[in-house]
Amino acid sequence: MKRRQSAALATVVAAVLGLAGCGIPPDDSATLAAPDSVPFDLLGQTPSATATTLPFAQTEKATLFLVQGERLAPVQRELPAPVSVESVLEALVSGPTSTEVQLGLRTALLTTPGLVRSGGVSGGIATIDLGGPFTEIAGRDQIVALAQIVSTVTGLPGVGRVRFTLDGNPVGILRGDGAVTTETVSRDDYATLAPVPLG
């Protein structure tokens, strides 16, 4: 019996000495390892690639009409989808980019807050409410500015004509021939300002 106890005691002592020899200090409490200090494959999962992926912002191409000389000039812009009357008008009023200016493009519109107050579409007709600053555009430039708006807006699907109001009230506007009308207008009313055909 004493021989068995001595053998068991010797085994325990040998195990303790073995652990001490491996450099593992005795510790009575448990500690958690920080997740970033543990290899991913030991955590049983791989890092998620979608956790830091930013959502893809979709855009659509829209044609805006700027001015080159005394004629309209179409330019392509990428705008947030879906493109609307409001978004093309906002882009148009912001004026040409620095690259477009270098190409000799300009705008007859004033880049002034409140120039265009709102815009919407019903039955194929876009109604655009102009603000007071629009009346500050003088002479021929007012016709060109209207042509820019009409040509840009009627480039949207389902829009054929444009009605203008001023501060929410009906208003007479100039057509391309200089005549004043309170009716809806289309690109045909500004045909003399249309871009020169290529070729």
pLDDT at residue 184 greater than cutoff 80: yes
Q: Which residues pair with 153 in a beta bridge?
A: none
Instruction: Show the tokens assigned to 125.
Output: 């007709």
Question: What is the C-alpha separation between 41 and 45, in angstroms, rounded?
Answer: 6
12 pLDDT above the threshold of 90: no
Please enumerate in sequence order all residues whose Cβ is within 8 A of that of 113, keeping only pairs 6 or more positions apart, or say none.
Answer: 133
Report whether pLDDT(14) > 90. Answer: no
Q: Burial-class residue 105 by CB neighbours within 10 Å (0-12, 13-18, 19+).
A: middle
User: What is residue 111's predicted lDDT score, i.e. its pLDDT?
Assistant: 83
48-99 tens-digit pLDDT? 555 555 566 699 999 999 999 989 999 999 999 999 999 999 999 999 999 9
